[in-house]
Each structure stands twice: as structure tokens, then as C-alpha cells.
């Protein structure tokens, strides 16, 4: 099979491929970019696999960077855009289920493709658009199937993260995981414990943000993978509830974590603990706390001005979307109007500063902070107008 209209991302890389081939080596586009092109999806990074060894690649180009030379990866910068080129390789015995003991460079494309995870990810494309399909990946793409290349147990023993990748792709692509592959995930789920949480987290979030999360969630649940994820040892109920939500669409990482902690009914302390166990950044943790507080407010019809203000526009939108997802009738425009109508969106919007307070005779220190906080709250609650004279009058009356 040949792709007639090659996306520009590949077109731009053709001179590189041609240089490698002119020197007598092979070069192919591989991995996600080939898969996504065939699915008519936008492509992210263009990866190139070659029979040339890293040192040979470096001799062919003027500007290269050793981005991962011990794995055979060299970045070629000759044409402005950087292209990662990796030498065909096989990986011998994996002792720790996550990285090969050693990488062996080989000259054969077939050797390289057969150690890849799924048939849809083991397609290669020549620079002229010709597709090399050694494992019926095209058929699986057509039928919407995630199937391990060769023996699934071997693939998951090589890298246990691939089990999470399977459920992630199922949900991103709305694909079904093939039976033997599913069975191997179920019998190897425990190996996930060997994998760094950070890597699991990336796949987990991608799974929940996919276009068909119920697809991935079903296998995540039925294979028992969830048991080996932080805080989800007893997560069956949660996953079941998530899966049953109609139109489950989560637009951001914060939405993912907020719906999780809401359904798990975690308090503030437990929420922090849960999110930290998943190695989330403080930024995500703070935003999740805000969105979750607002979500509770919306669900209980108790979203007041102060909660709107503390939540902020972005996390408030997330909370509103989630409330709708959870079955609450939400008037989104009324909610946004409530937010927009706030006299101030941040403390800095107050028409009075510490300087003004000092000029009015307030001593700097805790008293001043307390007074400013009081003013902030009153302005947000519309008990004071955010206008210098009025605020100063309040200061004079309350200092």
C-alpha cells in the first residue's frame, strides 16, 4: 500500500531520508506518526528508523546532537527542524520489566519492528509513501484493533508500561483490545508495580482524556490493571462509575483529577495525598482543589461569590463541565455571568493598597493584612463598592 498524499511533516523530512539512502543505508518513518497519518489524525513527532549506526548517521550530516546515542538515537538538525533518527535495534532480555539490559543495533527493519508494542505501531513508511506492514497492522487499523506484535506476554515482559499504553490507545482511538492481548494484560497486570508512577500517570491521563474513555476503562477494570495504580487498589467502584457516565469527555488534566477525587469523595487532606501519590505537580494539585471545591458548590447549589472568586475562571469552567457530566442541570452562562459580575477577580484589583492604608494611619503588620482581607471579602460579596473613597471610609471606621 502506498500513501499518495504525504503530510507536509514527512515531506520536510524527505531530504534527510534521501541522504541516508544515497549513502547505501535504509531509512523509514516509524511509530505513531505513521499510525496517525493512516488514521487521518494530526501527527506529533516524526520518528525515523535507519539501518545506519549512530556514528554512520553522524558522518552523513553537518549538525547532529546525541540525544540518546546509547539507544541509537541521534537528532539531525541540518534542515532547521530536528529529526530523531534511531538505529534499528533489538533489545535483549529485560530483567526489570522496564528497560532492556542492552540494546543491540541491527541492520534489519523486520528485527526492529518485531520488538515494537502493537501492530498498529509497528508500521513503517518509506519516504515515497510506501507502507511496510509485516504484522497486519493495516488490517488492525481498519478493524480498530489493538494487538500486541507476536507474543503479547513477551511484549509486556519487555516493558510493562505497554499494558497501560494498550488501554490508553483503546480510549484515544476508540479501538478494541484483541482477546489474547487482553488476557496477557490480565495475567501480567501486577508487573505494573515495576513501572515509575510518572510514566503510568501519563498513560492514565491520556486514557481518561481520550475520545472514547469507556473503551480503555472497560479493559482497565476487567484486566485488574487499576489495582496496581496509586490509591486505586479498591478502585473498582470508581472505575465502574466513571465508565457508566454518559458522554464522558474530560478536557484537561485538572478535569481528570477533579472527577476522580470527587467520585472518591476525598477530603482536602486525602485529596492531596492521592494526587501526590500519582506524582502530580503542585500546580495541578492546587487547581484540582479549587475545581473540586467549586464542583461541590455547584452540586449542592451553594456556589457563592466567594467560592467563584477563589476558584477563578478556568477551574470554575472545569467544575461546571464536570457538574453537567455528573448529571446536574447547570446554567453555564448564568455561572459565567456570576463570575464576570465580580467586582474584583484578584486582590490586586482592589482600588486600595497597603500604601493607602498606611496613609490612612493603619500600622503595617497583621492588622493591616486582616483589614485588607476583610475588604477583599466584602468587595467580592458586594458589601462594599470597589471604589477608593468608599474603601477608605471603611478603613477609617474600622481601624
Ligand X SMILES: Nc1ccn([C@@H]2O[C@H](COP(=O)(O)OP(=O)(O)OP(=O)(O)O)[C@@H](O)[C@H]2O)c(=O)n1
96 is in an annotated binding site: no
By CB under 6 A, residue 68 contacts ligand X: no
By CB under 6 A, residue 116 contacts ligand X: yes
194 versus 273: smaller Cβ distance to ligand X: 194
**Stretch touching ligand X by CB under 6 A, among 124-132, 154-162, 259-267, 316-324:** 154-162
Query: Between vectors from CA 247 to CA 241 and to CA 248, what angle results, nearest 5°?
Result: 50
The site partner of 116 among Mg ion, ligand X, none (C-beta below 5 to 8 Å per kind) is ligand X
212 versus 344: smaller Cβ distance to ligand X: 212
117 versus 376: smaller Cβ distance to ligand X: 117
165 is in an annotated binding site: yes
Cβ atoms of 375 and 350 closer than 8 Å:
yes
By CB under 6 A, residue 399 contacts ligand X: no
Minimum Å distance from CB 103 to ligand X? 13
- Please pick, from the candidates 131, 161, 229, 239, the single residue that binds ligand X as defined by CB under 6 A: 161
The site partner of 162 among Mg ion, ligand X, none (C-beta below 5 to 8 Å per kind) is ligand X
- 167 to each of 129, 171, 178, how far by Cα in Å? 29, 6, 11
170 versus 320: smaller Cβ distance to ligand X: 170
By CB under 6 A, residue 89 contacts ligand X: no
By CB under 6 A, residue 396 contacts ligand X: no
The residue number with the shortest CB distance to Mg ion is 32
Minimum Å distance from CB 153 to Mg ion? 24
**Burial of residue 302, with CB atoms counted within 10 A of its CB: 0-12 exposed, 13-18 middle, 19 or more buried:** exposed
The residue number with the shortest CB distance to ligand X is 32
By CB under 5 A, residue 32 contacts Mg ion: yes
Q: Which residues does 343 contact at the CB level (< 8 Å), separation at least 6? A: 349, 379, 380, 382, 385, 386
Site for Mg ion (CB under 5 A): how many residues?
1
By CB under 6 A, residue 188 contacts ligand X: no
By CB under 6 A, residue 159 contacts ligand X: yes
Minimum Å distance from CB 81 to ligand X? 17
By CB under 6 A, residue 117 contacts ligand X: yes
14 is in an annotated binding site: no
**Stretch touching Mg ion by CB under 5 A, among 25-33, 56-64, 131-139, 152-160:** 25-33
Query: Checking DSSP bridges between strand 64-68 and strand 73-76, what pairing results, if any?
Result: antiparallel
Minimum Å distance from CB 136 to ligand X? 15
Site string for ligand X, 8-37 (x = CB under 6 A): -----------------------xx-----
By CB under 6 A, residue 44 contacts ligand X: yes
What are the binding residues?
Answer: 32, 35, 45, 47, 116, 159, 162, 165, 168
Using CB under 6 A as the criterion, which residues of the chain lie in contact with ligand X when the complex forms?
31-32, 44, 47, 116-117, 121-122, 159, 161-162, 165
Using CB under 5 A as the criterion, which residues of the chain lie in contact with Mg ion when the complex forms?
32
What are the binding residues for CTP?
Answer: 32, 35, 116, 159, 162, 165, 168
Amino acid at each position: 500500500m502506498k500513501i499518495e498524499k504525504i503530510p507536509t511533516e514527512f515531506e520536510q523530512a524527505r531530504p534527510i531520508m534521501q541522504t541516508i539512502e544515497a549513502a547505501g543505508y535504509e531509512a523509514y518513518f516509524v511509530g505513531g506518526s505513521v499510525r496517525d497519518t493512516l488514521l487521518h489524525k494530526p501527527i506529533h513527532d516524526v520518528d525515523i528508523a535507519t539501518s545506519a549506526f549512530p556514528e554512520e548517521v553522524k558522518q552523513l550530516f553537518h549538525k547532529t546532537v546525541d540525544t540518546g546515542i546509547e539507544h541509537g538515537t541521534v537528532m539531525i538538525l541540518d534542515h532547521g527542524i530536528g529529526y530523531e533518527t534511531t538505529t534499528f535495534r533489538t533489545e535483549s532480555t529485560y530483567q526489570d520489566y522496564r528497560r532492556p539490559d542492552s540494546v543491540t543495533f541491527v541492520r534489519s527493519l523486520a528485527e526492529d519492528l518485531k520488538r515494537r508494542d502493537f501492530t498498529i505501531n509497528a508500521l513503517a513508511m518509506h519516504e515515497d509513501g510506501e507502507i511496510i506492514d509485516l504484522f497486519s497492522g493495516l488490517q488492525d487499523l481498519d478493524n480498530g484493533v489493538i494487538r500486541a506484535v507476536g507474543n503479547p506476554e513477551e511484549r509486556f515482559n519487555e516493558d510493562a508500561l505497554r499494558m497501560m499504553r494498550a488501554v490508553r490507545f483503546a480510549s484515544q482511538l476508540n479501538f478494541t483490545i484483541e482477546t489474547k492481548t487482553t488476557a496477557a494484560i490480565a495475567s501480567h497486570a501486577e508487573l505494573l508495580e515495576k513501572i515509575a508512577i510518572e510514566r503510568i500517570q501519563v498513560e492514565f491521563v491520556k486514557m481518561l482524556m481520550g475520545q472514547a474513555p469507556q473503551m480503555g476503562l472497560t479493559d482497565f477494570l476487567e484486566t485488574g490493571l487499576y489495582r496496581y495504580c496509586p490509591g486505586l487498589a479498591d478502585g473498582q467502584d470508581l472505575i465502574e462509575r466513571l465508565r457508566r457516565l454518559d458522554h464522558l469527555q474530560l478536557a484537561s488534566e485538572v478535569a481528570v483529577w477533579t472527577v476522580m477525587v470527587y467520585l472518591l469523595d476525598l477530603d482536602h487532606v486525602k485529596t492531596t495525598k492521592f494526587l501526590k501519590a500519582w506524582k502530580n505537580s503542585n500546580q495541578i494539585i492546587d487547581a484540582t482543589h479549587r475545581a473540586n471545591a467549586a464542583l461541590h458548590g455547584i452540586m449542592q447549589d451553594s456556589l457563592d461569590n466567594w467560592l467563584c472568586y477563589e476558584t477563578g475562571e478556568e477551574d470554575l469552567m472545569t467544575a461546571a463541565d464536570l457538574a453537567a457530566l455528573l448529571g446536574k442541570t447547570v446554567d453555564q452562562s448564568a455561572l459565567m455571568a456570576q463570575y464576570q459580575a465580580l467586582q474584583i477577580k484578584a486582590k490586586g484589583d482592589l482600588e486600595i493598597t497597603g500604601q493607602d492604608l498606611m496613609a490612612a494611619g493603619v500600622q503595617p503588620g497583621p492588622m493591616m493584612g486582616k483589614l485588607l482581607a476583610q475588604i477583599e471579602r466584602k468587595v467580592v460579596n458586594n458589601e462594599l463598592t470597589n471604589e477608593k473613597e468608599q474603601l477608605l471610609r471603611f478603613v477609617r471606621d474600622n481601624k
